[in-house]
Amino acid sequence: MSLVKYEKRDGVGLVLVDNPPVNAFSVGVPRGIMESLAAAAADPDVSAVVVAGSGRTFIAGADIKRLGAWPEGEPNLRDAIEVCEASEKPVVAAIHGHALGGGLELAMACHYRVSTADARLGQPEVKIGVPPGAGGTQRLPRLVGAAKALEMILSGAPISGAQAAGVGLVDRAVERDLVDKAVAFAAERAASGGPHPRVRDREVRVDDPGIFDAMRKQIERRARGMRAPYACIECVEAAVQLPFDEGIAREYEIFDAQVRSPEAAALRHLFFAERQIARVPGIGKDIVTRDIREGAVIGAGTMGSGIAMNFANAGIPVKLFDLGGEQLDRAMAAIERNYASTVSKGRLSEAAMRERLERITPVLELEAVASADFVIEAVFEEMALKLDTFARLDAICKPEAIIASNTSYLDVNRIAAATGRASQVLGTHFFSPANVMRLLEVVRTDSVSDEVLATTLGVGRRMGKVPVVSGVCHGFIGNRMLEGYLREAAFLVEEGALPQDVDRVLTDFGFPMGPFAVSDLAGLDIGWRSRRDHHAAEDERRYSGTIGDRLCERGCFGQKTGSGYYRYEAGSRAPIPSPEVEALIKEVSAELGIERRAIDDEEILSRCIYPVVNEGAKVLDEGIALRAGDIDIVWLNGYGFPAHRGGPMHYADHVGIASIYRRVCDYHERHGAWWQPAPLLERMAREGTTFAERDA
Ligand code: NAI
């Protein structure tokens, strides 16, 4: 089957890329384009060429699996682009749907571009850890100027065909009859005789020569540990400083090195992992999901208010219930403040804010939620309260309503059993702040039906979340794995490190914040109170964190009290290491009979990350997570795991399973039962397999 079709229309050669679903540049597509162009060149009856995509889009990008792994001797995108640009007959790109990555690069190598007004054009390569690598960084600035090119390439965000016409990326935007109009335009350009403009011959417009350094500064925070954004800037800079041929050689060189980097491998992995999460056993394409027209949230606290916003943002009217008017007033005020801040940043219109606010109705009668199709409970984290709440909801809600719990740790099977509709009860574990964080763990109880699970995943997606299915266990995928991370951070401080040492190593690794700064932000008192109040069997296997308790006893709850593991100046969130905390830490070490020692960065990193990997292997082995990739998506979107490391399981593959296993065994010997090696890790180390292979 040919991936590229060629036909003639009114004396114009029409090259149609036909590689569904998105006409990606698979092996064979560049060759097909080159053959079609050759046929057009050789045909005296053809005066011009139009390149278009068949089906619903132009060319949506490269075949990401093939990036950096193209078969030897097979023509590639760069070859097709050269032939296209060298064509003596004018070539017009006719763009509808998406022209992304290599698709846009090919279009820019054509002499002219015609686009539908609603098409999307962009260079999203940075998201998979590479700069555009087929001339995109050289041609885009020649068309739209250096500043706009940098903005597009660094954000990876596409612009519309109409916008593209405005900035000079396309010659004209049309509403309909794209291919016919492109053919007519091509014939007209051919008749005009030429010469036909080549993008490579244009000058790059640079309004501000300082823009490159300014950009490097601007992305510093966002690009922490990543090389790709800097590589993009370097390439565009080359477009400005060098003649075209040298500039493009520089781009190729930078791309070819970057595409083989661990960073690019990690981001490619996450790209595919995010697409895999929707593949869930029991949920096929034919599954019928329920219509969700009205939502309800029980408990208008920190989480409940954010979850109500999620419903409103998804266009679903929602009732927000709490026990007292005061709680509801506080919640509605917080929600308004939140939307208003988005409006002030220009990311939401005033009208949209009103619309969303109108969708949220605070209610004081539980009976008011009787009409809801989807109810999410977010009351205090206490089993007895949850059981009682679910029994009452079961009695009030309509029979087909789905009832979900936002519990962080509790057994959702038990909660489901408190109702007479266990097949319609499951967990929806949002992350704080619930309206911002993309992760949603959907906890699949033993009795929940596939239909209800699929409906819940759909609701999560409508809310703009990344819903990952988790089995039932203490803490589900993410929080269960987090325990070892926090525990070891606390131990390291008792043994000789300081909070700022541990935090520095983890931010250098790529986390936006270290564990102690995060604890200060979240508030140390929450864990302390729950340890104090529920000093019960369930908590015994968890480390209690002596230093954290000591700080709380002194009223140091973190940022909100101006001191915790760090101190904070009034109105500032910047953590400042504190001599008093250091003294307290030394006191605790002495009390525990620990002789403090120097701990190097490598130990800090492995002590914090390897328990995450080890627990992840258990989570996987027990079937709590469906795939190692799902765990990586959880850690990326819920815990700030650095994207360029690909998530804890991908990182483990990168380091080597056998070497991690050896270290876990070593720590097990030295530190005891916390470090019980996961049987799966042992097996994988012995067999020499990887998590990626296990997922495949
Ligand atoms: P919160 O203390 O901010 O809010 C709880 C709200 O529930 C309060 O407004 C309270 O008045 C209300 N409430 C208590 N009993 C009620 C009842 N019988 N009926 C109706 N409302 C009642 O707590 P938060 O932080 O929002 O947590 C709620 C749930 O979400 C807990 O299960 C928690 O484990 C979970 N969660 C919390 C996260 C966080 O970071 N805070 C993250 C993920 C889950």
Q: pLDDT for 236-280, tens place per residue?
A: 999 999 999 999 999 999 999 999 999 999 999 999 999 999 999
Instruction: Identify whether residues 68 and 173 lie together within a single domain.
Output: yes
Q: In this model, does residue 546 exceed pLDDT 90?
A: no
Confidence of residue 224 (pLDDT cuts 50, 70, 90): confident
Instruction: Identify whether residues 142 and 102 lie together within a single domain.
Output: yes
CA 481–ligand 1 middle distance (angstroms): 22
Pocket test of ligand 1: the residue of 319, 326, 375, 380 to mutate, having most ligand atoms within 8 Å of its CB, is: 380
Query: Which residue has a Cα nearest atom 40 of ligand 1?
Result: 432
CA 375–ligand 1 middle distance (angstroms): 14
> Which of 591, 615, 632 lies at the terminal end of a domain, its last residue?
591
Query: How much is the pLDDT for 543?
Result: 60
For residue range 128-172, list pLDDT tens digits in order. 999 999 999 999 999 999 999 999 999 999 999 999 999 999 999
Tokens of 335: 């929600």
Q: Is 125 a catalytic residue?
A: yes
Query: How much is the pLDDT for 544?
Result: 58
Question: What is the span of the domain harbouring residue 454?
Answer: 295-470
Pocket test of ligand 1: the residue of 302, 396, 435 to mutate, having most ligand atoms within 8 Å of its CB, is: 302
Q: From the CB of residue 24, how many other CB atoms can be counted at a distance below 10 Å?
A: 23
Q: In this model, does residue 388 exceed pLDDT 90?
A: yes
| Partners of residue 429 on adjacent β-strands | 441
The residue annotated as part of the active site, out of 125, 483, 495, 615, is: 125
Where residue 420 sits, what CATH number does that domain have?
3.40.50.720
Instruction: Identify whether residues 100 and 214 lie together within a single domain.
Output: yes
Instruction: Identify whether residues 668 and 646 lie together within a single domain.
Output: yes
Instruction: Answer whether 523's CB lies under 8 Å from 565's CB.
Output: no
Q: Is 105 a catalytic residue?
A: yes
Question: How far apart are the two ends of the chain, measured CA to CA in Å?
Answer: 27
Query: How much is the pLDDT for 529?
Result: 79
Instruction: Identify whether residues 525 and 637 lie together within a single domain.
Output: no
> Which of 567, 591, 615 lies at the terminal end of a domain, its last residue?
591
Q: What is the mean pLDDT of the chain?
A: 95
Our count of domains for the chain comes to: 4
Closest C-alpha among 145, 148, 149 to residue 136: 149
Query: Which residue has a Cα nearest atom 28 of ligand 1?
Result: 378
> Which of 199, 233, 258 lies at the terminal end of a domain, its last residue?
258
Query: How much is the pLDDT for 490?
Result: 94
User: Does the pTM exceed 0.95?
Assistant: no
Instruction: Identify whether residues 504 and 464 lie together within a single domain.
Output: no
Query: How much is the pLDDT for 533?
Result: 67
Instruction: Identify whether residues 352 and 450 lie together within a single domain.
Output: yes
Residue 315: DSSP 8-state: T
Residue type at 279?
Answer: R
Instruction: Identify whether residues 300 and 389 lie together within a single domain.
Output: yes
Confidence of residue 286 (pLDDT cuts 50, 70, 90): very high
Task: Say if 138 falls within a structural domain.
Answer: yes
Query: Which residue has a Cα nearest atom 9 of ligand 1?
Result: 301
Closest C-alpha among 433, 438, 393 to residue 416: 393
Task: Say if 31 falls within a structural domain.
Answer: yes
> What's the rounded Cα separation, in Å, for the pair 673 and 524?
26
The residue annotated as part of the active site, out of 85, 105, 377, 488, is: 105
Query: How much is the pLDDT for 635?
Result: 98
> What's the rounded Cα separation, in Å, for the pair 512 and 490?
19
Instruction: Identify whether residues 586 and 608 lie together within a single domain.
Output: no
- What's the average model confidence in pLDDT over 336-341? 97
Q: How far is CA 554 from CA 267, 532, 573, 588, in A?
A: 44, 15, 20, 14
- What's the average model confidence in pLDDT over 337-363? 97
Task: Say if 177 falls within a structural domain.
Answer: yes
Task: Say if 690 falls within a structural domain.
Answer: yes
Q: How far is CA 326 from CA 331, 337, 363, 435, 526, in A?
A: 9, 16, 12, 21, 22
For residue range 59-81, list pLDDT tens digits in order. 999 888 888 789 999 999 999 99
Q: Which residues line ligand 1 (CB under 6 A)?
A: 298-304, 321-323, 327, 378-381, 385, 389, 406-408, 430-432
Confidence of residue 542 (pLDDT cuts 50, 70, 90): low
Confidence of residue 537 (pLDDT cuts 50, 70, 90): very low
Task: Say if 34 falls within a structural domain.
Answer: yes
CA 470–ligand 1 middle distance (angstroms): 21
- What's the average model confidence in pLDDT over 679-696? 97
Q: Which of 61-65, 507-511, 625-629, 642-646 has the lowest mean pLDDT?
A: 61-65
Where residue 656 sits, what CATH number does that domain have?
1.10.1040.50
Q: In this model, does residue 538 exceed pLDDT 70?
A: no
CA 299–ligand 1 middle distance (angstroms): 6
Query: How much is the pLDDT for 59?
Result: 96
